[in-house]
Amino acid sequence: MSKQTTISKEIVFEGIGLHTGNRSKMIFKPSGANTGIHFIRVDLPGKPDIKADWNSLSAGTAVRGTTIEKGDAKVHTIEHILSACSALGIDNLAIEIDNNEPPITDGSAKLLAERIIDAGIKELDAFKEIYVIKEPISFSEGKTKITAYPSDNFEIDCTIGFEHPFLSHQQAAFVITKETFLKDIAPARTFCFDYEIEALQANGLARGGSLENAIVIGPNEIYNKEPLRYENEFVRHKILDLIGDLALAGKSIKAKIVAEKPGHKSNVSFIKEFVSKAVLETEGKISEGTVDTQMQNTEEKIINSAEIQRIIPHRYPILMIDRVKLTSDPKKAIGYKCVSGNEPFFQGHFPGQPIMPGVLIVEAMAQTSCIMFLSRSEMKNCLAYFMAIDNVKFRKTVIPGDLLEMKVEVIRDSGRKGKVKGEAYVDGKLVSEAEFMFIIVDREA
């Protein structure tokens, strides 16, 4: 189990804030175990200390940046700092600041991350606490959808799109590690469209923005002299922001986050939902009321992706389930499929309007049925073949970002032959249904 960390020595930053235009000086200082990351407004009476977690979020101010507050004291646009700390594994840090917004540097987290690495990371005599989940957690708001899936890593799969010829669609996915963050995410800069600038400034935002610290997008090009650092730099910056906003959980996270059109407002709403349903794991022990990847109790078993691949022979690109829950009823099971924008079938089905093929939804229900039967000890070395598929209906489309939930139930079980009814849901709404006739055979030696 990993130990908590802080930085080895102080770091000083000075510069202008992106939205307020205020100049500030920040000093990052080492902090003790279990203190978390907190900002100290040294310019105000009493030096208010504001902890950087979801409890300190400022209502209504998470449109173009994330703000925390304590009483009348606020600190704006903290997401880049939290992103660097989270990805580099910094759990505890005291940040003294003499104004209400940190320096934006070049609009990315590159300098912040590099300075933290240069200062050194120090282990503390306490174990990390990590938020884990046993079932998906979803949040939807307008065109935004964010879902967390159980995972042994911290992963982000993000898709963005705008009604703009230069940025109609971008997608990227990463397992978030120190190395990946430094190489693939931290250098990605914040951005806006040229037509937004006047409105932003009229609303008291982007007063410190310039071509030195933000990418400005015109109708068919960018205005910056520096070229894009990545072909898909815009979605990478959205991932950078999302990492920072997720850090408001106050603890590390193990989950796969699939986000479609995220923004600060939806990010912070999602993290509140996530924290309310996730549980903390410390030193490999899971707190009361939670489950491990094997058993919740004698009546429920969770089959993770690695176990699924030991039970059935399906592999990429035809493996259609990520996790299966076996219930107290041996004739029922629930499968889960995280429908990512990365799915290979979306390249041709259909360009510009991705829809999951109905036959693959049926396949996902069939694979869930396979796990229900083949996870039994007496069927350890068996395969399931489907003999017939009847009464198939497709009711709604399934698109990137959806959580597909397959509920299967045995209609008839004659040992090695039988019939199963499957239903697939998204957000509690039925999207497809079918019935399967199957036969179970021994694997060839």
Question: Which residues, other chains included, contact 414 with Cβ-Cβ below 8 Å and sequence gap of 6+?
Answer: none
Report the residue count for the chain: 445
Yes or no: say if 172 and 243 are a contact pair by the CB < 8 Å rule.
no
Is residue 264 part of the annotated active site? The answer reads yes
Question: Which residues, other chains included, contact 343 with Cβ-Cβ below 8 Å and sequence gap of 6+?
Answer: 317, 354, 356, 400
**Rounded to an integer, what distance in angstroms lies between the CA atom of residue 422 and that of residue 434?**
5
First to last CA, the chain: 40
Q: CA-based angle 319:323:327, to the nearest 5?
A: 130
Concatenated DSSP letters of 7-65: ESS-EEEEEE-TTT--EEEEEEEE--TT--EEEEETTSTT--EEE-SGGGBPTT--SSS
Which residue do the tokens 């079938």 mark? 345
**Rounded to an integer, what distance in angstroms lies between the CA atom of residue 79 and that of residue 352?**
31
> In terms of Cα–Cα distance, which of 140, 135, 141, 404 is closest to 255?
135
Report phi then psi at 81, rounded to 5: -65, -50
**Rounded to an integer, what distance in angstroms lies between the CA atom of residue 271 and that of residue 245?**
8
Where do runs of H (alpha helix) occur along 89-147?
110-119
Yes or no: say if 26 and 97 are a contact pair by the CB < 8 Å rule.
yes
Is residue 237 part of the annotated active site? The answer reads no
Q: Which residue out of 19, 76, 264, 314 is catalytically annotated?
A: 264
**Rounded to an integer, what distance in angstroms lies between the CA atom of residue 241 and that of residue 234?**
11
Strands 323-326 and 332-338, how do they pair? antiparallel
**Rounded to an integer, what distance in angstroms lies between the CA atom of residue 68 and that of residue 56?**
5
Q: What is the DSSP letter of 161?
A: -
Please list the active-site residues. 264, 349
